[in-house]
Structure formats: structure tokens, C-alpha cells
Chain A
Amino acid sequence: MRKYFSLTKTLLKSGYQVTDAKSKKWFKVFLYLLLAVCFLPLLGVIYFAVEAALPAYARMDQSATVLGSLLFLSCIIIFIFSLFLIPSIFYFSSDLDTLLALPLKSNQIIGAKFTVCVLYEYLFSASILIPAYLAYWNYGDMPVMFLPFGIITILLLPIFPLVLSTLFTIVLMRFVPFFQNRDRFNLVTSILLVALGLGFSIFMNSQGTQDESAMLKALFAGGNSLLDVFIKFFPIIPYFAKAIVEGSVPDLFLAIGITIIALAVLMSAGKLLYFKGAIGSGESSASHKELSERKLSKASRKGNKIWTYLKKDFKVIWRTPAYFTNCLLMVVLFPVMVLAMPLLSQGEGMEAFDLGILIQTIERSDEFLAYVIFFSLALGFLFGTFNQIAATAISREGAQYSVMKYLPMSYRDQIHAKLLLGVLVGLIADIAMALSAMLFLPFSWYYYLIFCGCSAITTLLGNSYSIMLDLAKPKLVWEQEAAAVKQNLGSFIAVMIGMALCIVLIVVCFFIPQAWLMVSAFGALAAMCILALLFYFLAGKYAERAMRKL
């Protein structure tokens, strides 16, 4: 037991951190506050949804159902998120090699890691359930034990879904060696995650519901057989719900009993399977094949420095799952999403007018070209910098940044190579967007050419300032590659600037008097051209200064 406690404490201390170690304390507090503010609306939605649903159910004497739905929501969220979290904590974390070598029982490792997971999940269970409790409380007429039972539920609820996902992972890792490769696992799961997100948004769209409270109401609607099936996965839910709403002690004990049994099952399964799966969960595979003469000759051709450097960076992004999903996959998925949107929102008054005729009318107006230029410039910022390749160019090097310093290639060239890769991927995104838009917005083809040309300019500009931002404050200290792109404040700011510029340009062009539209459009185009070239050269100049200081 002592070992378990001290291991848990150590894991917690060395755990997940949003900022790097050097950041100031106030900055961390600020970040958490920011997160909290972002979460508030969601909490509000839950509160008002419960408040709206409760009277009707209470009249039917079924007020536990509403709470049950929310318990279910917490469980399913915890379950899905932990499916992706558990493998990286139990099997792919960098501390595993050390832990496996220490004189620890598998149950001590599993217990400590599991505890850490449970602690993290309290964020979910608390932020979903507390607003619901508040709504119940305000509705009134709650039993005396409402509060203590509610708190016990928040504390115990995450355990059951976590046991399920951990069991699933342990079995998978033990018997399906395919997933023992970290890269492969990350790739499969992150594609799944994106697909899931996409599926969810498509589902929301197809429901034709605009606000989330209506969504929740739909979820509450009884007789939903799918929901019933899901609840069978989490048999604790009805007992917890009854315990809180009716103050029933036996139900609480039943729920606790089920949770304890689940934990016991996990522990015995862990004893049997964990070490066998954990040992040998490698990082990469090797073929050990000799390079053929022809391949060697093909590989050993002299190349242009900048091009070689660019190719190197691309290969790294392509082969690192965290970079692949964040920097490249989005380029593919974004156009798909654009394509999916009009297809799905059909039937909501879309066919009330003929799009083709509308477009022809728009095209005939004198200022149409001006709007095209403004929109293209604006969207170039958005699509061109969305990949974050330039915005994380130095951060991605991490501890390896010193290699940049001793390579016999000027910092200017290295930065330009990185910048150009961002521009290239950005251009592909621009073109892909144009192509997918072409399918359902029948503008004349040359407008799409204009779009590609104009957006290329702002894509260059966007990538240039992005890389300068990263040069100014790269995030070089990270444990896992994902942190370099996902928990990078600089790149987040760069994307935000891109969005802001995009919105500003679009809004501005609607405020310009008609007579001035054409002139200002070409003025903006010329200005962007000059700015793009200027920033491109500035980025190279700044690279020399900033890299020396690193």
C-alpha cells in the first residue's frame, strides 16, 4: 500500500502540464481561468436544459430519468476520452521502462496509474453534474441526503467507465500485437477521434437542431431504445440516480457494490494480463533488409539544400502521428467537411431557390470581382495557416534544435525552407478548398483561379508571420510530440491572428462604398503582395537574430 501511495504521488507530480516548466505562476492561473470561462457556457446549457426538462418528468414521477441521462452523458464522455488516454498512460508513457524495472507488482502500477486517471476524470464528472445538481436544488423538494449522495456520486461515477475502457485496453494490448506499436496506435486512434468528431457534427447537423439544449432534450426523451442499450453498459447509472433523487440508501450501496466488483475484476485481469502486454510495447518496427544497389544510387543524388531541408521536414511531419493529424490530416478533412455541409443541410429551405441562377446574378454585378479578391485574400489567411506547420516550425524540433545551429546552412535558408513547406501545404489546402467548393458553387472557373492566386499571397504572408512568432518564443521543452503542436501558445495565437485577419477583411469589404470597391480591392491586393514579400524577407532576417539567441 505504501508503494502504491508514493507511486501515485510521483505520477501526479510528473504528470500532464499545459505550460512548460519555465512559465510563470500567474500565467498558469490565467490559462486555467481562460479554460474555465470557455467551459462556462457549456455548464449553463446543462443547467438550463435540466431546468427545462425537470417539471415534465417530475409530474410523471420520473425525475430520476433526467439525472440518469446526465450520468450517462458523463459516463460515455469519460469512457470515450479514456479509450484514447489509457493506452498512452498505461502502455506508451515514457516512465514505463523505469517502472517495469522497479520491484513493483502489476497491481501497484495499475492502481497508481488508474488513480491518476480517475482524478483527471473528476473534471468531467464534476462539470457535468454540478450544474445538474444546482438545477435540481432550485427545483426544490429534494431529500436531505441529496448533497452528500451527490458528492459521493461525483467521486465514484468515473470509476466504472474507466474500468471498462481499461479492461478493453488491457485485453487489446495483450492479444492484438498490432496495437503495440505506439505510432500505429496513435495514428489509428487519432483518425478515429477525428472521424468521431466529424460524425458527431454531421449527426448534429442532420438533426436540424441549432442549439444544444434541444439536443439534450432529445436525449432525455424516453423510450429511446438506443439510450436504453447504452445504459446497460453502465449498470450503475439507475442506482446512482435513484440514490440522489430519492435519497435511497440501498440504491447507493448497490451502486458502490457494483463499482467495487468492477475494480476487483480490473485488478485480477491486470494481474493476469498487464505485464505481458506492457513488456514489449515497442516504438517502431524495422525490416532489417539490405538496401539494393539501385535504391542506394537513387537515394544518393545530390540535391538543392533548401529542397532537401524541406523534404526532411515533410518526412518528419508525415511520419510523426501527432504532426500528421494536426498539420496534414486537417488539410484533407477540411474540404471534406465543406463538401459535407451543404449536402447535409439540404431540405432546410436550401432548394427553395436555385443556386445556379442566384450565382449567375451575383456574377453579373459589377463589383463581384472586388468581392472575390477580398474573400480570397481573407480565406488565404485561414486555410493557409491552418496547418500550423510554420507556426510550430522551431517548436517541433524540441530538444533537437541545437542541430539547426551546427548544420552548415544559414539560419535564413533553414527558416525559409520550413516556411516554404508551410506555404506549400497551405496552397494545397487553398486549392483543395477551391476544388470542393467548385462542386456545389457553380461560379465560373476563372474566379476559382483568381481565388487560388490571391489566397496564395496571404498564405505566404500568414506563414511568414507565423514562423516569426514561433522564432520569437518557440516551445522547445516537451515530452511528447503532440505537446509541440497542441499545447503551443504561440501557434494558437498565430492561428487566432489568421482568423481575425480573415474576419476583418471580410467585414471591411462590406462597409466600403460601392464606388470605391474595385479600387480598394486592388489596393488591398497590392498591399498584401508587398506585405507578403516584406514579411518573407523579414522572416529570414529575423531568423538570423532569433536563432543566435536560442
Chain B
Amino acid sequence: MIEIKHVSKVYPGNKKAVDDISVTINDGEIVGFIGPNGAGKTTTIKMITGVLNPNEGQILINGIDIVKEPLKAKMEFGLVPDQADIFLRLKGIEYLNFIADMYEIDGSLRKQRIAQLAQAFEMSAALNDKILSYSHGMRQKIVIMGVLICDPRVWILDEPMTGLDPQSSFRLKEKMREHASRGNTVFFSTHVLEVAEKLCDKVAIINHGRIVFFGTLEELKAMHPNCTTLEELFLEVVEHA
């Protein structure tokens, strides 16, 4: 469960990047976060994960305040950041074990998960190489695997599908659905409306730092009956907010 309460963020010398947003994502839900470039998605995710401090408002993850009890809160979620070029000098296997140690995952459990996920994402042959030698999509995959291996209750993913091949993208969606069905929370940003439609229980649409819609797609469609396609719907909401 993620509770975002009246959160705002102002970058120094800039307008409000995130302006008084409130969203509650319940257990067992997959919520998609969509909006135009520069709308404030990454900024919001950075605040949820403690990378940025909000100027106003409060964020709770499974009831734990990220600002007041950062360490406890961080154990509750795993993050796939928008920029996957991290730890390039480590080998894939070393990265996974580093992350697993951070989340205090047991040895036998992690070994089993690593083997399983490497199979699923076709990364077995790459684990022994440095991440520096990976392609863009492979880097994305290793970061995703890092989260899946630790399997925290809340998954927060910033554009996780970019660069993934159809197969891996499918596997990831499968895992996300599985995770949510076990009563956990998944929150991810995306620009692919079809993914949002097929996968999400709810979507949050953000524009110019404000939430312009939060709810199920059915509700959204009901609100704009003249829109036939998702694209039209999205443009309508963003432009006439």
C-alpha cells in the first residue's frame, strides 16, 4: 500500500514539478502512472522512494513514513529507476547478490530465484559478464531482476518496459500480475497506453504536476463517452484538464 498525501515538489529555481497530489494505492492493486514528458512522474517516484524529499505532504509505504523512518520504509519496496545504467563495473551476478544482501535475502532462496529469473529473462549467459558490456535492454533486465529477487511487498517501476523485447516484457507483466494477486502493490509509470489498459486495475494520469485523473479505465471511459480509442481518451484528459 502506498499513500501519497498532498505532496508537492519544487526544484530550486523552477516551477512546481509536482503540485499537491494525493493518491492511495491499495494492497493487491496494479496502478499505472501515465502522463506527458515532464509531467512529474519520475519526480513523484523519486519522492516515494526517498531519493528526493517532498517540500510538502507525506508519503507512507505500508504505513511507514519514508521521511521519518527511511530505512524501514525502504525495506518495504524495490525500485527500478528510470535510468538503468547503474553499477556498470559489476558483473550481473555480483549486482544481483549485492542487492540481495541489501534486502537481507537468504542464500538458498536467492540462488533459486536467480536461476529461475535468469531463465525467464534469458540472462543466464550474461550473468558472468560486466554490466558495462550489456545492451540497453539487458541493463534494464538486470535491474528488474534485482527487484524480483528481493521480492519486496511494494514494487515501484519507472518505465520498466522501455527497451525490453516482447518476451521479457510479457514475463514482467506476468510477474507483476502474480505479485499483485498475492495481495501486494505494484506502481509503475509508462508511456504505453495498451500496457496500462491490459495490466492495471487503476491508472493515475498526471499533467503539469497535477493528478488529473485517478481511477479505473472504465470510469474514465464513462466520463468521456465520445472517445473511442485510448489515445483519444488520453489526449482529451490531458488537454482539457
A400-B110 Cα distance, complex, nearest whole Å: 25
Q: Which residues of B contact A408 (CB under 8 A)?
A: 71, 74-75, 102-103
Any chain A CB within 8 A of the CB of B127? yes
How near does chain A come to B133, taking the closest CB pair, in angstroms?
4
Total residue contacts A-B, CB cutoff 8 A: 104
Is B100's CB under 8 angstroms from A312's CB? Answer: no
Any chain B CB within 8 A of the CB of A288? yes
Any chain B CB within 8 A of the CB of A14? no
**Set A285, A289, A304, A305: member contacting B128, Cβ < 8 A:** A289
**Set A286, A296, A400: member contacting B93, Cβ < 8 A:** A296
Sampled A-B contacts (8; CB under 8 Å): A286-B134, A289-B125, A309-B98, A312-B87, A315-B89, A400-B86, A408-B75, A408-B102
Is A287's CB under 8 angstroms from B128's CB? Answer: yes
Any chain B CB within 8 A of the CB of A24? no
Q: Which residues of A contact B100 (CB under 8 A)?
A: 300, 302
Residue of A nearest to B72 (CB): A408
Contacts A303-B101, A305-B102: A403 and B86 contacting too (C-beta < 8 A)?
A: yes
Q: Which residues of A contact B125 (CB under 8 A)?
A: 288-290
Residue of A nearest to B156 (CB): A406
How near does chain B come to A462, taking the closest CB pair, in angstroms?
26
Q: Which residues of B contact A399 (CB under 8 A)?
A: 83
Is B98's CB under 8 angstroms from A302's CB? Answer: no
Interface segment among B44-52, B171-179, B183-191: the answer is: B44-52
What are the nearest 9 A-B pairs in CB distance? A286-B133, A408-B74, A300-B111, A286-B129, A308-B101, A284-B132, A284-B133, A406-B49, A319-B89
Mark contacts of A307-319 with chain B using CB atoms, 8 A cut-off: 1 yes-contact digit, 0 otherwise. 0110010011001
Q: Which residues of B contact A299 (CB under 8 A)?
A: 93-94, 97
- Give the contacts of A281-295 with B (CB-CB under 8 A): 283-291, 295
Contacts A286-B130, A300-B110: A402 and B93 contacting too (C-beta < 8 A)?
A: no
How near does chain B come to A39, taking the closest CB pair, in angstroms?
36
Query: Number of B residues contacting the other chain (C-beta, 8 Å)?
Result: 43
Residue of B nearest to A293 (CB): B115
Q: Which residues of A contact B86 (CB under 8 A)?
A: 400, 403
Q: Which residues of B contact A316 (CB under 8 A)?
A: 87, 89-90
**Set A290, A319, A402: member contacting B46, Cβ < 8 A:** A402
**Set B51, B101, B106, B133: member contacting A285, Cβ < 8 A:** B133
- Give the contacts of B152-205 with A (CB-CB under 8 A): none
A3-B37 Cα distance, complex, nearest whole Å: 33
Mark contacts of A52-75 with chain B using CB atoms, 8 A cut-off: 1 yes-contact digit, 0 otherwise. 000000000000000000000000
Is B107's CB under 8 angstroms from A302's CB? Answer: yes
- Give the contacts of A388-424 with B (CB-CB under 8 A): 399-400, 402-403, 405-410
Any chain B CB within 8 A of the CB of A2? no
A128-B216 Cα distance, complex, nearest whole Å: 73
Contacts A289-B125, A300-B111: A407 and B89 contacting too (C-beta < 8 A)?
A: no
Any chain A CB within 8 A of the CB of B79? yes
- Give the contacts of A302-351 with B (CB-CB under 8 A): 302-305, 308-309, 312, 315-316, 319-320
Residue of B nearest to A299 (CB): B93
Is B90's CB under 8 angstroms from A312's CB? Answer: yes
Contacts A285-B133, A286-B129: A291 and B90 contacting too (C-beta < 8 A)?
A: no
How near does chain B come to A375, taking the closest CB pair, in angstroms?
38
Residue of A nearest to B132 (CB): A284
Any chain B CB within 8 A of the CB of A301? yes
Is B71's CB under 8 angstroms from A405's CB? Answer: no
Q: Which residues of A contact B83 (CB under 8 A)?
A: 399
Any chain B CB within 8 A of the CB of A548? yes
Chain B CB count within 10 A is highest, among A286, A287, A288, A399, for: A286
| New contact pairs (13) apart from A305-B101, A408-B75, A410-B70, CB-CB < 8 Å | A284-B132, A286-B134, A289-B128, A291-B93, A296-B93, A296-B111, A300-B114, A312-B90, A312-B94, A316-B89, A406-B74, A410-B71, A548-B53
